[in-house]
Structure 1
């Protein structure tokens, strides 16, 4: 009996030690700063929310997170640099999941969001059709009429091919048959400034990128690319584009932080815990979303992949049908909706 009791005690001790070791192995304690490559210019939608998320995560990780802006080729340059960095967990990237998911379709980057990346989503954004205040366009119908009257002449600022703004104007083109003159910039913020300064007549970048200029009456918002009204803090209501294009369908454009697969598992386990404990409960991100016309929508793992897919699937086919894709989406695992 004594021998049996002793055996049980030894087994319990070993089990306790084993659990302790497993817990220690699952916790990543970074011993140097983490770099997040933002593959777009400073001040844009990716830059904005990534800086807030990084600041929120630093205390939980016990380490500084450094943001490095590396714009170029619609975000593919900075993303590739994150892919090529050592798989030690210290180099991440960020952006719209739809961009990451369609680089391969567009022939920009040979990567697959589902097999090559761990994704951590924070907010969902919507695009706004905004115009320079000196233009004569007072309603979206005015702008639509101008597109039709002057095909290929109305200038539209976006952050480049595959950006949210480019997706937005291409969706309008799909539903209405209009043509436009595409003027590209190295990020959403520069695109918005381009519209404000008069370099372009319109922009279709995200609400979060136009919000301050709208509040400052430097951009006139004509429509939000949604089927519901956007109530923007400090401005008021922006009508939905479905008032003019009833069958217009736009999903939620999710943004987040992306970590290449192949890094140590304890990095992923730790980041998932921090995302769940910190980002899911972040009042700063909630306040940012509310003030700038975004939706607070954190997720990770399969849920994040499923949310992202619901948006990038039709986007990939939009590019293909517009002749802007290098390969058919179904050849890279994205079936037709």
Structure 2
């Protein structure tokens, strides 16, 4: 039943964007060389995984390869600045699930997260997951909270870098659970999950995409999904309310963006190609990364509206947790 509803939603999403299809047909823009899709994190994280899945499908539609370029550093700021300063010709794109979190937590951002970009598509949405090293003597979220409260500051909490969505999720967990732990910022979701596997950090709030394989393989232990309901990708893992953390609700979204000034006909062609690719890749993204598309973000304006709302939401979460920009 869930898959049937998803299929219907994706069909509606496809038919909801006729203007994009017409725009592409009238503009007839087609790339004549490979397009680079900048991932501002280390390989193996959620953006890398989703970018490769969607980029491969979009490249086939456009008739040119979409090459993933990893530009990790500074919680996605380095790679995102490269994208913002790139020629606005359609040959440089960005996928960054931390795009809306960075302005909320980084004091001096060298670009404008909203005004320096134009929206192409939203690849999908995915909740974060509360996980722990199997070496910790706990099996539930409440046991983890009790252990942390009994040992304030003793255990490390892994993030994917300052300003990343994982960082915001970690601050939200610290706030709602009322615990103290040492934040350790890694250079992306992949390295942060590797640290959990090695017990270098003892618990974390990674994205589902970057941790799904390790959870299924048993190398890290999932305690709760940060959503109001269970995820079809991890049906045996309790939701946040079921785990006793009803306010630990946090999901990432994956905006695909182009530099401001990209010609409208190029934006329309890219948007149409990526929307089609996202719909075609829905099952694969859910299976490999726990990421599901959602209707309602089929225009550049809607994409940027979501980014703007995200900046406001994440800023509110962090300020409520007592976190100021660094």
Q: TM-score range by the shorter chain?
A: 0.7 to 0.9
Larger Rg: 1
Q: Partner residue of 2:111?
A: 111
1:31 matched to 2:28? The reply is no
Q: Is the 8 A contact 2:88 2:258 kept in 1?
A: no
Q: Is the 8 A contact 2:81 2:110 kept in 1?
A: no
SS in 2 for 1:223: strand
Shifted more, 137-146 versus 170-179: the winner is 170-179
Superposition pairs of residues 130-169 of structure 1, within 5 angstroms: 130-169=131-170
Give CA-to-partner distance per residue, 1:160-217, whole Å, 9 cap, x none.
Answer: 1222221212111221321111112111011111100111111210112111111111
- Closer, same or farther: CA 103–167 of 1 in aligned 2, 3 Å: closer
Q: Is the 8 A contact 2:85 2:259 kept in 1?
A: no
Distance of 2:31 and 2:139 partners within structure 1: 53
SS in 1 for 2:48: helix
> How many angstroms does 1:87 deviate by?
1.9
Q: Is the 8 A contact 1:76 1:108 kept in 2?
A: no
Distance of 1:86 and 1:228 partners within structure 2: 42
Superposition pairs of residues 60-209 of structure 1, within 5 angstroms: 60-96=61-97, 99-105=98-104, 106-119=106-119, 120-209=121-210
SS in 1 for 2:96: strand
Superposition pairs of residues 23-62 of structure 1, within 5 angstroms: 26-62=27-63
Provide structure 1 residue ranges, at least 5 long, that are not aligned to the other structure. 1-21, 328-337
TM-score (normalizing by structure 2) = 0.84
> How many angstroms does 1:244 deviate by?
4.4
Provide structure 2 residue ranges, at least 5 long, that are not aligned to the other structure. 1-22
Q: Partner residue of 1:294?
A: 291
Distance of 1:107 and 1:253 partners within structure 2: 21
1:285 matched to 2:282? The reply is yes
Superposition pairs of residues 320-331 of structure 1, within 5 angstroms: 320-326=319-325
Give CA-to-partner distance per residue, 1:12-39, whole Å, 9 cap, x none.
Answer: xxxxxxxxxx977722121221111110
> How many angstroms does 1:128 deviate by?
0.8
Q: Partner residue of 2:318?
A: 319
Q: Partner residue of 2:236?
A: 237
Aligned-residue CA RMSD (Å): 2.3
Q: Is the 8 A contact 2:29 2:269 kept in 1?
A: yes
> How many angstroms does 1:251 deviate by?
4.6
1:305 matched to 2:304? The reply is yes
> How many angstroms does 1:112 deviate by?
3.5
Q: Partner residue of 1:222?
A: 223
- Closer, same or farther: CA 263–23 of 1 in aligned 2, 3 Å: closer
Q: Is the 8 A contact 2:36 2:91 kept in 1?
A: yes
Distance of 2:84 and 2:288 partners within structure 1: 33
Give CA-to-partner distance per residue, 1:50-89, whole Å, 9 cap, x none.
Answer: 1111111112212111111010000000000111112222
Q: Partner residue of 2:267?
A: 268
1:257 matched to 2:256? The reply is yes
SS in 1 for 2:100: helix
Q: Is the 8 A contact 1:28 1:267 kept in 2?
A: yes
TM-score (normalizing by structure 1) = 0.82
- Closer, same or farther: CA 87–304 of 1 in aligned 2, 3 Å: closer
Work out the number of aligned pairs and report it: 300
> How many angstroms does 1:280 deviate by?
4.6
Distance of 1:296 and 1:313 partners within structure 2: 22
Q: Is the 8 A contact 1:211 1:293 kept in 2?
A: yes
Give CA-to-partner distance per residue, 1:312-333, whole Å, 9 cap, x none.
Answer: 4221122234454339xxxxxx
